Structure formats: structure tokens, C-alpha cells
Amino acid sequence: MRGMNWGMTNFVAAGLMAAGLSLSVPAHAADDTIKVGVLHSLSGTMAISETTLKDTMLFLIDEQNKKGGLLGKKLEAVVVDPASDWPLFAEKARQLIAVDKVAAVFGCWTSVSRKSVLPVFEELNSLLFYPVQYEGEESQRNVFYTGAAPNQQAIPAVDYLMENEGVERWVLAGTDYVYPQTTNKILQAYLESKGVAKEDILVNYTPFGHSDWQTIVTDIKNFGSAGKKTAVVSTINGDANVPFYKELANQGIKAEDIPVVAFSVGEEELAGLDTGPLVGHLTAWNYFQSIDTPENAEFIAKWKEYTKNPNRVTNDPMEAHVIGFNMWVKAVEKAGTTDPDAVIDAIIGVSVPNLTGGYSTMMPNHHITKPVFIGEIQADGQMETVWQTSGLVVGDEWSDYLPDSKDLIADWRAPMSCGNFNVVTGKCGGKGTN
């Protein structure tokens, strides 16, 4: 039902865009500036999450300019609004690269929007920094994945529940699209490899924006009363989380009995929710606002000052943009040019401090190293870290737990330069088209 609406919204949105209502900042004095594209939805259903990332990019560019810019030039943001419309993402990306001649693009949130712009970046040979946790199974020459791959979020979270909470029965609940489905496929294979029986796993999908959770929450409750400790692994995305958590709270499911670990719920999403009844439910991320490091404290203070809002929260995809942007800056300085080919070669191995007290490095598979944190939701909407990995985890683009991707690796250094090298056949080109 939502789908239909979107279709119509998109149609009108496209019409408005065609009518010349594009939001791009006019370009002037092109010679002394380096342009950076920001491709995040500012309207439509994803605006809830993506608007903050646009603000983050403007903030980072502002900070960099205060430090004297890049290669002696000022940075200039070119902001476009793809309006939560997947095909429009591709159009806007093309406009950024071909018309505005940006040096790099920071953007996208949903996997479907990323898939939609991939061919454009390949064709026009530009750079995309993608800041959101995603399902993996991809590595593209022009894309840098600064969010978590499944092994940097989902699998550590499941390990935590198994070891620390003794969970034996699993509900995998997700929204019906590519990220939850692929993640759940990986998790199912992983759990089965750990000896969890098939009947102890319940997989459930719901549409985008689902609001009536009564039946599903009852199902979870019933599934959890089989005499074994049960947990819910939630890849429910966006708006649907609020009614889901409300129903959990109202039906009296407490975190002590059936904990829910969520991969798409951060500080930003909890801002619209009375978190009192949710205390103790878990989230898994690579960053929490509550993490107590000097870098983080400084970042939060500057961010609040920049947005002039003392209540603004920070979240994981924001940190991913911070890391990605700093890596790009460092790579451009190293290469001495913004030329995409030179930057692609220079950025591998670049290390920048993250906000949680360590360094993140760009690996040859275009994924980065990250620590993993498990947090419990607190009454004030913040997360309290209850567990963290001892070191950094390298993002694994091709899951080791899926039969058709376990033999694949990606390495974009010469001479291999391949996103899907099959180590068994010794040839580039396995699953997928990259």
C-alpha cells in the first residue's frame, strides 16, 4: 500500500524536479573550490534519517574550510534532494558528477538507493562514500563502504546474546527488502553452523511502515515460551520501529525475558519514542553518542554548536561520514589531486581516528575496520555500552556463511583489482556483476 503511494509521490517529485526546483547550490568561482556532492533525501519517507547526514556533511565541510580547505582550495558542498525516490538517486548522482563536476559524493541510505546509483558511478568514474550499515555481498571499485558489513554488526550481536544471555531460540524479524533479507539469510546460516536447530529459528517479514504489530508480538511471545531462552534480532527499518516497541512494551515483554537486539535503531530513531519501557533492549553499532572519549566529546560539542541545538543527538552513520570524509581528505592530500583514479589508489591503507578512541583503516576491499559495541537502551534514549570487541573488526564484504559467496574476496589493489575474486577457481568474476 505504501508502495503505491510512493510511486505517486515519486511521479510528482520528479515533475517538480524537472520544473527546475532542484536544490543544488549554484556554482561560482569554480576554479578555487573543490566541490563535494551530498546525495541524501531531504523529503519523503527516508528524510527522517538522511536529513541529519546532510547536516553532518555541511558541518564537516565547514570545519575543513576553517582548517584552510583542501589542497589550498575551499571546499564547496553541492546538496541535492533525491526525495526518497530510488530512480531519482541515479539521476541526481549523474547531475552531481556530470553537471556540477563534484570530486566525490557522500550519500545514500537504503541499499536500493545505493544499487540504483552504482552504474552511474561506474560509468562516470567518480567516488561514492556510503555511510550506512548494510547487507554486504558487494564491493565496487568506485564505492567506499564506511558503514558496517554484517560481520561488524549482526554476527557480533548474535555472539553476544549466545554467550552472555544464553539465548537458544531466535526470532529474526525484519522489514521486507534487501538488507533484512540478506542479513537474515547470513544469520540463519551462521546460527545453523553454531548448532541451532531449524525449528528454533522463526523468520518474519513485515512491510515498510507496518503499524499493527499485535499478532507478531504475540507470536514472539508464544515462540518464547518453549522453555528455552529466546531473543529477537530485529532488522526492522525506519518508522515501523516505534509501533513495534510500543506494542512490545504494552504486551509486557521485558528485556530481561525476551531481549530485542536491533540493527537499525539508533539515538535518532529513539528520539521519537518514550524509552522508559524499552530499557534493557539492545542495539549493536560501531558508535554510540554515550561513548566516553575526548574525540567524541569534542565532536558532540562542536556539532551541537554548529546546529545551534543542545538536544541534537549523534549516531553511527554520522560517525561513518566523519571517518569517510577524513579518509577522503587524507587520500586527496596524499595523491595531491582529486582525480578519482589517483584517490582510489591512494586511499587504501589510509588510517584516520574514529570517534571511539581508535583508528579506522580503509582496507583493499573498500570496507573499513571498526570496533563493535553492544548497548542497552536507557531511559533517556541513549545507549549504555555493555560489551565491545577487544579490537577492530575488518569489514567482510562477501559473507563466509553463504554458500555462493564464501569463496569470494575483493581486492582493489593492482594487479588483482577485482571486487569478486573467486579463490577456488582463481578467476575474477563470481556472483554479482561487479
Partner 1 sequence: MRMPRVIVLLAALLAAGLFAASADEDGLRRIIAKFADAKDFKATEAVARELAETGDPAVERVLLALADGNLFVRKGDGAVFVGKETGASVTLSDPLTGEKAGEAAKAEITKVKVNNGLRRLIRDLLGGLTLGSADPLTRGVAADTMFRTPDAANIEALDAAIARETVASVKARLEQARAASILVSDGSDEEKVVAIAVVEARGDRDALSLLTAVAARTEGAVREAAENAIAQVNGRLALWAAGQNVWYGISLGSVLLLAAIGLAITFGVMGVINMAHGEMVMLGAYTTYVVQSIIRTSFPGLFDWSLAFALPLAFLVAAAVGLAIERGIIRFLYGRPLETLLATWGVSLILQQSVRTLFGPTNREVGNPSWMSGGFDLGQMALTWNRFWIVLFALGVFAVLLYVMKRTPWGLQMRAVTANRRMAASMGIRTPWVDALTFALGSGIAGIAGVALSQIDNVSPNLGQGYIIDSFMVVVFGGVGNLWGTLVGAMSLGVLNKFLEPYAGAVLGKILVLVLIILFIQKRPRGLFALKGRAVEA
Q: What are the CB-based long-range contacts (under 8 Å, 24+) for 292-299? A: 293/355, 293/356, 293/357, 295/353, 295/354, 295/355, 295/356, 295/357, 296/355, 296/356, 296/357, 299/355
Nearer to partner 1, 66 or 308 (CB): 308
| Residues from 360 through 419 that contact partner 1 (CB under 8 A) | 376, 378-379, 384, 386
Q: Strand pairing of 128-130 and 74-80?
A: unpaired
Site size toward partner 1, by CB under 8 A: 62
Which residue in 20, 72, 227, 294 binds partner 1 (CB under 8 A)?
227
Angle CA 78–114–100, to nearest 5: 25
Nearer to partner 1, 27 or 112 (CB): 112
Nearer to partner 1, 140 or 314 (CB): 314
195 binds partner 1 (CB under 8 A): no
Please measure the distance between the N-terminal and C-terminal CA atoms of the chain and give it in whole angstroms: 33
Which residue in 24, 43, 293, 417 binds partner 1 (CB under 8 A)?
43
181 binds partner 1 (CB under 8 A): no
Q: In what order do the strands lie in the sheet with 408-411?
A: 408-411, 418-422, 427-428
Going by the DSSP 8-state scheme, the letter that residue 281 receives in this structure is -
Which residue in 272, 336, 349, 357 binds partner 1 (CB under 8 A)?
272
Q: Give the residues across from 393 on adjacent strands.
A: 370
Which residue in 78, 108, 232, 249 binds partner 1 (CB under 8 A)?
249
Which residue in 193, 251, 425, 433 binds partner 1 (CB under 8 A)?
251
DSSP codes, 75-141: EEEEEE--TT-HHHHHHHHHIIIIIS--SEEEE--SHHHHHHHHHHHHHHT--EEE-S--------T
Going by the DSSP 8-state scheme, the letter that residue 275 receives in this structure is -
| Residues from 102 through 131 that contact partner 1 (CB under 8 A) | none
Neighbours of 71 (CB within 10 A): 14
Minimum distance, C-beta of residue 393 to partner 1, in the bound complex (Å): 22
Minimum distance, C-beta of residue 282 to partner 1, in the bound complex (Å): 8
Nearer to partner 1, 34 or 253 (CB): 253
Cell, residue 227: 522453555
Cell, residue 333: 592530500
Minimum distance, C-beta of residue 204 to partner 1, in the bound complex (Å): 7
156 binds partner 1 (CB under 8 A): no
1 binds partner 1 (CB under 8 A): yes
Number of H helices, E strands in the chain: 12, 19
Which residue in 101, 246, 304, 431 binds partner 1 (CB under 8 A)?
246
Q: Rounded CA gap, 373 and 293, in Å?
A: 14
Cell, residue 261: 537486539
225 binds partner 1 (CB under 8 A): yes
Which one of the spans 267-275, 330-338, 364-372, 393-401 is the region binding partner 1 (CB under 8 A)? 267-275
Handedness of CA 55, 60, 65, 67 (dihedral sign): positive
Nearer to partner 1, 122 or 384 (CB): 384
Which residue in 32, 62, 123, 274 binds partner 1 (CB under 8 A)?
274
Which one of the spans 17-25, 37-45, 149-157, 348-356 is the region binding partner 1 (CB under 8 A)? 37-45
Cell, residue 285: 553499532
Q: Rounded CA gap, 420 and 318, in Å?
A: 28
22 binds partner 1 (CB under 8 A): no
- Residue ranges that bind partner 1, judged by CB under 8 A: 1-2, 4-5, 8-9, 12, 42-45, 47-48, 51, 164-165, 176, 204-207, 209-212, 214-216, 218-219, 221-222, 225-228, 239, 242-243, 246-247, 249-252, 255-256, 259, 268-269, 271-274, 277, 279-280, 376, 378-379, 384, 386
